[in-house]
Structure 1
Amino acid sequence: MRKHPQQLSFLDAIQDDVEQPIIQVPPHEKGNFPEDLITDFERFIDYCQQHKIALTKTNEYMTRKHLVALNDLLSIKAPLATVNSDQKSYPYIHFLYHLAISGRLVLIKRNATSAYLLSTDRIDQYKRLTHSEKYCALLEIFWVDTNWQTLTTATPEATHAYIFAALHRIGPGMPVSITPPKTPFGQEIKSSTWNWHYFLLYFEWFGLWQCEDDVEQIQQYFRKDAYFAKSITLTKLGTAIMPILIFERSLEAWNIAYRKQNHEPDWFPGAPTEDIIGFFLNDEDYDKLDDYLSVDQSDQPFHQPFIPHFPAGELTNTLPREQERYQEGTYTFKVLYETRAWRRLVFNGQSTMDDLHQLILQSYGFEDEHLYSFFMDGKKWSHNCIGSPNDEFEHTDASLIRIDTLGLQVGQRFLYVYDFGAEWTFIVEVEQIDRERTDPIEPFVLAEKGEGPEQYFDWDEDDEWE
């Protein structure tokens, strides 16, 4: 039977005016979330340090032998998974994997034939944090750095604040039935979370609420990425944290991927934004959210508004944010076509991704303009995309995105796809970043090797298709 969460020990220090008791879970079902999340995440990153973990070619997920081993180590099991199941059949491991990747505690190292996980020194930095700091660091990774669309095909970012607000009005310890809904609140929550699936459990694993499994519907639906709940019960931790996540750390201002998907050239966490998901708020709260979103909070640490809810001295540090707003310098890219040709291109960080596109075309002798996209996660047709100015797909406009705002790292690779009919595909590798050379320069081709592809074939009038 799946464990249910209870509060972290430090939460006894949380001050609030709620008089309703926290729901009591029968002893045989007791878990200890988010305590278990912290423990399990440390087990996960320890395993990554101790093993060379090969990744699958298609999705770059962990291979099966590591999934089986981790499933035995962690507190949340995947009872339906077999030795032949892929990573998505282990939803807890899948969640921890994305936290570790998004927080750059592990990186995906790629070579010509394979990919594997490489642990970083941020693991040691994480381990030096206090218990409370580890919790807030994981929350920050999930809330700020994780692209939620890599975790689900749903759009929970469009409805999460409404659910938070609705549950907060009800208060902790009061189960809200959603299958079947027995109140207007239950009906609203059901209609807003019908395709959330494991996102319901992500928030449970962070200790914000408790879900009662809808076993019948889970068995009937029987899909590895599907989860259904009969009821949701707000916790004391959720009561303290949810208002902060709605207002002071709203997803609109703080989630990097969300801001990029809204085509904001200044997407730095906490920067002002005019994008408000406020249909769930009354006029007073809408104005309050608008005030927060109009102020530049980008110089504040994410955990700052949470400090009063933790014991004194328990929450002072976090994982350093590696990404600067502008990572100035001179960037050298190696742009490879298959294995037979490459071009080495040099740019000032103030150049745009459209400038990179233009020089790639020039260096390979392409002439006509077609649509293009950069897929920054290296996965063709992913949502992590910077595209042609004014394309019909509403991608982030490459002409507005400066190279020095992307937080690129030496060795990082991404895809450039040009002409969606022909799908000319190039690998772009960040070969060097010289932070000392910040003077403006015209982009140029430093070196090249091999013949590139012919953009068009020449046909004589007498040529025929065979």
Structure 2
Amino acid sequence: MTITPQLRVSEAEPSPIVRDFGLYAEFLCNNRMTLTPKSQYLAKKPLYQINQLMTTYVTADNPNYDQHSYPLLHLFYHLALAGRLFRKAQSKGGRFELQPTERYSIYQNLKPAEKYFFLLETLWIDVDWKDINPAWSRDEAGLNIGQVFKFVSQQQPDRVITVNASKNELLKNLFDRLGRHILNLSFYGFWRVTRDEEATGILYSKYDFRVATLTPSKLGVALAGILATARNLPYWNVPSRRGDGETGVIPGSPLPSQNTYRQVQEMIREIQTGKKARINKKVQPEYKEEPF
């Protein structure tokens, strides 16, 4: 019998994401955050300052890095907006700036465990994964992340997995395409990752992240099976479903016939079985207010 480890959530466990996001949000509240005119991201100077406050930080020798160069801060930016904790407001000069909402005041009063799962739920349901992936596979929406979780669910916690040593070429390609997403999920404490520095010189983008090793945590292994099946991202992520033209999206509900992910999965099943796939519309559970 598999025993699911007890999840202890504080500002430091299972990762420092609650603490770091709190410091990020506090900095935004205490400083006027005028956004860049083109991308409407945070400017380089405040990014450099915020980065130095983080537990998980980027080693930056100068304040000339843009937002994409700070993976954690780029993720926080989208969590803040998608979670409706902050909003873009136009200033008198025509530039946009970030301002806290009333919803942020509610967030501040949550317990650490509630904050952790709010940040996870926001990522899973509300954030457009294309926006948090500035790497070479910019169009990669992470819809196949369930395959990574399925793989992790079969691994031993704290055992280092060397990606390039795998004989599974499909798995290595998956890790290459999903590298930035895998890095983002490490911030939640699902696993620890190291970057393949040897691949740096041949990357398509300086923002790319090629995974050299992945070490699943006990939490990651315990939750991986759930996130690969009952919480499979294509069913739950609202922006990806809207991108396929769906309206009135209910997270977790069956995918409509025109959904690209569903069509691809049907084609794969037909190729593998030689028969036209029959979709069980009850595979995914109905949406609940607390998906996690």
Q: TM-score range by the shorter chain?
A: 0.7 to 0.9
Are the equivalent residues in 1 in contact too, given 2:33–2:42 (CA < 8 A)?
yes
Are the equivalent residues in 1 in contact too, given 2:237–2:251 (CA < 8 A)?
yes
Match of 1:144 among 118, 125, 134: 125
Q: Distance in 1 between matches of 2:63 and 2:205?
A: 17
Q: Distance in 1 between matches of 2:13 and 2:278?
A: 34
SS in 2 for 1:226: coil
Distance 1:224 1:110, change over 3 A: farther
Residue in 1 that maps onto 2:289:
301
Q: CA offset at residue 264 of structure 1?
A: 1.4
Are the equivalent residues in 1 in contact too, given 2:68–2:207 (CA < 8 A)?
yes
1:173 aligns with 2:155: no
CA offsets per residue over residues 334-364 of structure 1, 9 Å max, x none? xxxxxxxxxxxxxxxxxxxxxxxxxxxxxxx
1:70 aligns with 2:68: no
Are the equivalent residues in 1 in contact too, given 2:58–2:70 (CA < 8 A)?
yes
CA offsets per residue over residues 33-81 of structure 1, 9 Å max, x none? 6431111000011111111100011000011221121011112222246
Give the counterpart letter for 1:104 in structure 2. Answer: R
Residue in 1 that maps onto 2:109:
128
Residue in 2 that maps onto 1:91:
71
**Unaligned residue ranges in structure 2 (runs of 5+):** none
1:65-464 mapped onto 2 (5 Å cutoff): 65-80=45-60, 82-111=62-91, 113-152=94-133, 153-178=138-163, 180-184=164-168, 187-218=169-200, 221=203, 223-274=205-256, 275=259, 276=262, 290-293=281-284, 297-298=286-287, 300-303=288-291, 306=292
Distance 1:265 1:91, change over 3 A: same
Q: TM-score, normalised by structure 2?
A: 0.81
SS in 1 for 2:52: helix
1:45 aligns with 2:20: no
Distance 1:190 1:154, change over 3 A: farther
Q: Distance in 1 between matches of 2:64 and 2:214?
A: 33
Question: What percentage of aligned pairs have identical amino acids?
Answer: 24
Q: Distance in 1 between matches of 2:48 and 2:280?
A: 44
SS in 1 for 2:35: coil
Q: TM-score, normalised by structure 1?
A: 0.53
SS in 1 for 2:113: helix
Q: Distance in 2 between matches of 1:94 and 1:289?
A: 37
More helix by share: 2
SS in 2 for 1:194: helix
Q: Distance in 2 between matches of 1:115 and 1:81?
A: 28
Q: CA offset at residue 12 of structure 1?
A: 5.0
CA offsets per residue over residues 441-463 of structure 1, 9 Å max, x none? xxxxxxxxxxxxxxxxxxxxxxx
Q: CA offset at residue 292 of structure 1?
A: 3.3
SS in 2 for 1:109: strand
Q: Distance in 2 between matches of 1:224 and 1:163?
A: 23
SS in 2 for 1:253: helix
CA offsets per residue over residues 98-154 of structure 1, 9 Å max, x none? 111110111011256210001112222112222221111000010000001111214
Give the counterpart letter for 2:99 in structure 1. Answer: L
Residue in 2 that maps onto 1:401:
none
Segments of 4+ moved more than 6 angstroms: 286-289
More strand by share: 1
Q: Distance in 1 between matches of 2:167 and 2:185?
A: 22
Give the counterpart letter for 2:143 in structure 1. Answer: A
CA RMSD of aligned residues (A): 2.8
Q: Distance in 2 between matches of 1:165 and 1:289?
A: 20
**Which structure ranks higher in relative contact order (CA pairs < 8 Å, sequence separation ≥ 6)?**
2
**Unaligned residue ranges in structure 1 (runs of 5+):** 1-10, 15-31, 307-466
